[in-house]
Amino acid sequence: MASNVALDITSIRKDFPILHQQVNGKPLIYFDNAATSQKPNEVIDAISDYYNRYNSNIHRGAHHLAQLATEAYEDARQTIASHINANVREINFVRGTTEAINLVASTYGRQHVKAGDNIIISEMEHHSNIVPWQMLCEQKGATLRVIPINDTGEIILEKYLELLDEKTKLVSIAYISNALGTEHPVREIIRHAHNKGAVVFIDGAQAIQHKQIDVRELDCDFLGFSGHKAFGPTGIGVLYGKEQLLTAMPPYMGGGEMIKTVSFKGTTYNDLPYKFEAGTPHIEGGIGLGAAFRYMQKIGLENIDAQEQKLLQYATKKIKELPEVTLVGTASKKSSVLSFLVKDIHPYDIGVLLNEQGIAIRTGHHCCQPLMERFNIEGTCRASFAFYNTTEEIDLFLAALQRAIKMLG
Ligand code: PMP
């Protein structure tokens, strides 16, 4: 599809069968896209096609079905590689963002981080981008340094520059925050880290489905993302790494597929990307993820982004008219996440009452407890939009929210 065209949302919604159902007697309004996205028919069909026609284990199979499955799986890798401007050896299939981060912490991290070194993250990271680094720092006697954020939910860049030094081995930062939607200035963060000789992991869990990412242009050293947030299956994701870094890293898990030769005298490891893919992989997951990327390409990331920005601006403007509501996270650059609080009402109660009206939002700490601590709150209500959502749904959501406030107030 050409870029910068207004999307035909009615027709796009037909691609997503799950959207056409009633929940508690009301049409489903799905505003929990930051937790997981819905899947288009292309993805569902690609998975069922694999099981209906060519289910087989991949690689080294002499027979027809194994060849079809291998081709489809490796095609998916190629689709994803081209999409982010990487080469196929740099695309490692993993379970998701969490595994991508743990893989890098356990391999590159263990190899390079020593006592006295430091790793930098931000105050608004997902637990998956905190705990693996914390564990690594504990093992190595290194320090985890945390970039503070301001009241609007933006990283304070000057503080980052103060934290960076020659002992910084790694900076790991989300491109976009799942809790507040803030888009971080990742290019600047990467440039400054490189100036000090540190490598950068970009947590792309909330970015790959909204932005056209070019890893060469971005110059990140690693990028991780999860298929299920990008219209693909659960249990599959990608770790991208610069080839020379991945080549020098030790393997993560041992087992089948990641070996070249095994002998009791010693084992040699397979070439990239198989070195990091021990065991039978999530074959239908990889194939489904390839279909999801082709689907995003068909719609166009620029068009997706434009529609979601329209939804975000519309919802932000309208929700600000409700005196009981306070927005949490008002950064100047945001993706389609609206985090908010309603007076002293517990977010969970709002979530339950909205669910009664067919509306799915997420409530709680969004796996960002340190961020909640920073704002001195327990959690928020979070509505997160995808391009298949509509302004009409936002109107219905706001009307339902007002009813909920009345009932609880
Ligand atoms: N980082 C961010 C920013 C996320 O939003 C998430 C998922 N909520 C993760 C990491 C972890 O992703 P997964 O659970 O798919 O591994």
How many angstroms separate the alpha carbon of residue 129 from the centre of ligand 1?
A: 8
Q: What is the DSSP letter of 26?
A: E
Residue 166 has pLDDT above 90, yes or no: yes
Q: What is the pLDDT of residues 91-103, one digit of tens each?
A: 999 999 999 999 9
Q: Which pLDDT value is given to residue 409?
A: 81
How many angstroms separate the alpha carbon of residue 128 from the centre of ligand 1?
A: 7
Residue 1 has pLDDT above 60, yes or no: no
Residue where the block lists tokens 């971080």: 184
Contact indicator for 166, 197 with CB cutoff of 8 Å: yes
For residue 305, is it left (φ>0), alpha (ψ between -120 and 50) or beta? alpha
DSSP 66-130: HHHHHHHHHHHHHHHHHHTT--GGGEEEESSHHHHHHHHIIIIIHHH--TT-EEEEETT--GGGT
CATH 3.90.1150.10 intervals, the chain: 9-30+300-408
The pLDDT of 128-156, averaged and rounded, is 98
Residue where the block lists tokens 């961020």: 371
Q: What is the DSSP letter of 53?
A: I
How many angstroms separate the alpha carbon of residue 206 from the centre of ligand 1?
A: 8
Q: In what order do the strands lie in the sheet with 380-384?
A: 325-327, 337-342, 380-384, 362-364
- State the DSSP H helix or E strand holding residue 337, giving kind and residue range, or none if neither: strand 337-342
What b/e readout covers 98-134, taking b as 16+ CB neighbours within 10 angstroms? bbbbbbbbbbbbeebbeeebbbbbbbbbbebbbbbbe
Q: Which pLDDT value is given to residue 9?
A: 96
The pLDDT of 118-139, averaged and rounded, is 98
Token reading at 399? 């009307």
Q: Cα–Cα distance between 108 and 118 in angstroms, integer? A: 14
CB atoms within 10 A of CB 343: 11
Q: Which of 175, 176, 178, 289 gets mutated to test ligand 1 (max ligand atoms within 8 A of its CB)?
A: 178
Point out the ligand 1 atom lying closest to the alpha carbon of residue 229.
15
Nearest CA to ligand 1 atom 5: 178
Q: Which pLDDT value is given to residue 320?
A: 98
Q: How confident is the model at residue 199 (pLDDT cuts 50, 70, 90)?
A: very high
- State the DSSP H helix or E strand holding residue 22, giving kind and residue range, or none if neither: strand 22-23
How many angstroms separate the alpha carbon of residue 70 from the centre of ligand 1?
A: 28
Residue 213 has pLDDT above 80, yes or no: yes
Q: Which pLDDT value is given to residue 2?
A: 53
**CA 206 from centre of chain:** 4
Token reading at 284? 């239908």
User: CB under 6 Å to ligand 1: residues?
Assistant: 96-98, 126, 128-129, 174, 178, 203, 205-206, 226, 367
Task: Spell out the CATH class of 9-30+300-408.
Answer: alpha beta
**CA 323 from centre of chain:** 32
The pLDDT of 231-238, averaged and rounded, is 98
Name every residue whose Cβ is closer than 8 Å to that of residue 277 and which is 6 or more positions away in sequence: 92, 93, 257, 258
Q: Is the dihedral of CA 318, 342, 348, 36 positive or negative?
A: positive
How many angstroms separate the alpha carbon of residue 177 from the centre of ligand 1?
A: 10
Q: Which pLDDT value is given to residue 60?
A: 83
Residue 211 has pLDDT above 90, yes or no: yes
Residue 68 has pLDDT above 70, yes or no: yes
Residue type, 374: R
Please pick, among 137, 220, 367, 381, the residue that the annotation labels catalytic. Answer: 367
pTM above threshold 0.95: yes
Question: DSSP 3-state assignment of 217?
Answer: helix
CATH 3.40.640.10 intervals, the chain: 44-297
For residue 279, is it left (φ>0), alpha (ψ between -120 and 50) or beta? left
Q: Cα–Cα distance between 73 and 79 in angstroms, integer? A: 10
Q: Which pLDDT value is given to residue 3?
A: 61
Q: Which pLDDT value is given to residue 6?
A: 82
Q: Which pLDDT value is given to residue 164?
A: 98
Q: Which pLDDT value is given to residue 4?
A: 64
Q: Which pLDDT value is given to residue 5?
A: 72
Q: Report the CATH architecture of 44-297.
A: 3-Layer(aba) Sandwich (3.40)
Helices (H), 183-229: 186-195, 215-218
Q: Which of 93, 206, 228 gets mutated to test ligand 1 (max ligand atoms within 8 A of its CB)?
A: 206
Angle between helices 301-319 and 391-408 (to 10 degrees): 30
Q: Which pLDDT value is given to residue 61?
A: 82
Q: Which of 32, 37, 98 gets mutated to test ligand 1 (max ligand atoms within 8 A of its CB)?
A: 98
Q: How far is CA 246 from CA 89, 98, 135, 222, 240, in A?
A: 9, 18, 21, 9, 9
Question: DSSP 3-state assignment of 338?
Answer: strand
Token reading at 46? 């690609």
Q: Is 137 a catalytic residue?
A: no
Name the percent of the chain lying above pLDDT 90.
Answer: 97
